[in-house]
Amino acid sequence: MIAWRVELVRIGTVAPGVLRRLAAELAPCLAREVFVAGATIDPAPAFDPLRRQYRVDDLLLALLDPPPPPGVKRVGVTNLDIFLPVFTHVLGLAQHGGPVAVVSLHRLRPDEPEHPDPSGVLRRRLLREVLHELGHTLGLVHCNVPWCAMRASRVAEEVDLKDAAFCRSCAGEVGLAADCPCAGRDPGDREPPRVEKEHEG
């Protein structure tokens, strides 16, 4: 397995602290170098005026201009509502086996607008979605293990069912060492996933 590292890039207005915090969580989780790019990508060319959303495949193309250096997985993070023509929305998209991916915070947010995320719900969801899309860039397909980061999820509540880890099978496929924090145990070793609630009552 060729060594790879992760570059996080802001797409549009995302607070720099969001990416710094994500990098600080992602690096020990993957046991890889994670750095935040200085530049920001302008999402305007990806705006669809009819849907009032942003085309995620256009954002992937923007991330490829210029292409990342060899060994760099470039992940764009945005607050914008992103879509593909056949779907109402997507949480993220990656170039399968390629160097780029996009993850949106828009539909990962808990209900309250401008929620300060005191319980860390948004932070946890973002980490899981970034692991998921990184898995696709490494060539992984969707996985049926309920807690595996490669399980497909269409809505934020499904993201909550996943762990910030790949099952042993997925981790092994992409060469993540078994002692790496994001390389999970076998499905049979696990307790059932917990649903994390941000509200009581």
The residue (of 158 and 198) whose beta carbon lies closer to Zn ion is: 158
Per annotation, catalytic residue among 7, 33, 114, 133: 133
Neighbours of 124 (CB within 10 A): 18
The residue (of 10 and 128) whose beta carbon lies closer to Zn ion is: 128
Report if residue 143 touches Zn ion, rule: CB under 5 A: yes
Catalytic, 7? Answer no
Q: What are phi and psi of 187, to 5 degrees?
A: -50, -40
Report if residue 93 touches Zn ion, rule: CB under 5 A: no
Q: How many residues bind Zn ion (CB under 5 A)?
A: 6
Contacting range for Zn ion; rule: CB under 5 A; set: 55-63, 72-80, 113-121, 136-144: 136-144
Nearest approach, Cβ of residue 153 and Zn ion (Å): 8
Nearest approach, Cβ of residue 85 and Zn ion (Å): 17
User: Using the rule CB under 5 A, which residue among 22, 150, 176, 182 binds Zn ion?
Assistant: 150
Report if residue 145 touches Zn ion, rule: CB under 5 A: yes
Cβ atoms of 108 and 91 closer than 8 Å: yes
The residue (of 6 and 167) whose beta carbon lies closer to Zn ion is: 167
Nearest approach, Cβ of residue 191 and Zn ion (Å): 17
Tokens of 79: 């607050």
User: Using the rule CB under 5 A, which residue among 100, 127, 138, 167 binds Zn ion?
Assistant: 167
Cβ atoms of 4 and 32 closer than 8 Å: yes
Helical residues (DSSP H) of 64-181, grouped into ranges = 121-137, 156-159, 168-173
Report if residue 9 touches Zn ion, rule: CB under 5 A: no
What's the angle, vertex CA 103, arms to CA 163 and CA 100, rounded to 5?
Answer: 105
- DSSP letter at 165 equals S
Report if residue 183 touches Zn ion, rule: CB under 5 A: no
Tell me which residues touch Zn ion (CB under 5 A): 143, 145, 148, 150, 167, 170
Catalytic residue numbers? 133
